[in-house]
A and B are shown apart, each in its own frame.
Chain A
């Protein structure tokens, strides 16, 4: 191997005291995100299994859910990710006012998303959706729905708690830029998971 190749490899792969060339906080956050991602991967694979072995035809999602309403939820979450990214960069650039504003926008987006999810759950429960059965098809359908969206919703809720604490501390000038970045990584992960749930559960 040439010396220049070794230097390139070292630059890209070298670990030492800072594996991945990142701080320990960021490295640990990424490892947490991977493990949490594996949880949702398992849940989505379990959903696929339930759907494949179901002897009763799976209901058509557009006949159960209001897809435009789910699209609105997706829009809210994507928008909140955009404001979160802006907050992270603003914090990095030392623009605390902008960072705080965008953190608040992100929190409002998260609250709207949770409100929509609460409305969707209560609407479906009112129509007869239960863990043990539903009017549209196999009971596995609502089991998968409640488990997938419930786990995701709980992540949104915990993300909101983190964001609110980060916003308060940013307002007081106590959160370093890296703190905002860690909160942002978690929030984007919540958005990322929704991309998969939206496609695999609501559209396919």
Chain B
């Protein structure tokens, strides 16, 4: 549950402002035509920060037991990483054979 000391709705407004600032920073990075590798690292990092803020503050995961947060975040993240690592390896192989 949200923090009930003080204004209980404040956390949503603060999260909203931070999410908007991050989104503007991401758009600026895209518009500046930064080097590709820098853009990938920058945008991926900000994407994860936004995901953590939405999961933690909007979905209240920070107030749940760590086991629930770990099941949700860890499960999704680990499965996605495994899936992507296999797929990218296969894609690299296919792309190389197509170019030959």
Contacts and interface: CB of A to CB of B under 8 A. Distances in A.
Interface band, chain B: 35 or more
A6 interface: no
B76 A81 contact: no
A74 B46 CA distance: 14
A93 B6 CA distance: 13
A13 to B, nearest CB: 5
B32 to A, nearest CB: 12
Nearest to A82: B16
Contacts of B13: 82
Given A13-B65, A78-B20, A196-B51, A191 B58 contact: yes
Contacts, number: 139
Contacts of A89: 1-2, 8-9, 12
Interface size class of A (residues with CB under 8 A): 35 or more
B47 A53 contact: no
B68 A21 contact: yes
A85 B12 contact: yes
A185, A189, A203: residue with the most chain B Cβ atoms closer than 10 Å:
A203
Nearest to B91: A52
Interface stretch (A38-46, A146-154, A160-168): A38-46
Contacts of A81: 16, 54, 58
Contact of A195 (B47, B67, B90, B94): B47
Contact of A42 (B15, B16, B71, B83): B83
B97 to A, nearest CB: 10
Contacts of A21: 64-65, 68
A104 interface: no
List 8 tightest A-B contacts by C-beta distance, closest first: A52-B91, A20-B68, A82-B16, A85-B12, A199-B47, A41-B80, A188-B58, A21-B65
Interface of B: 1-2, 4, 8-9, 11-13, 15-16, 19-20, 23, 26-27, 30-31, 39-40, 43-44, 46-47, 50-51, 54-55, 57-60, 64-68, 71-72, 75-76, 79-80, 83-84, 87-88, 90-92, 94-95, 98-99
22 contacts: A13-B66, A20-B67, A21-B65, A22-B68, A34-B76, A37-B76, A41-B80, A45-B84, A48-B84, A52-B88, A55-B99, A62-B30, A62-B31, A82-B15, A82-B16, A85-B58, A88-B2, A92-B2, A188-B59, A199-B43, A203-B30, A204-B44
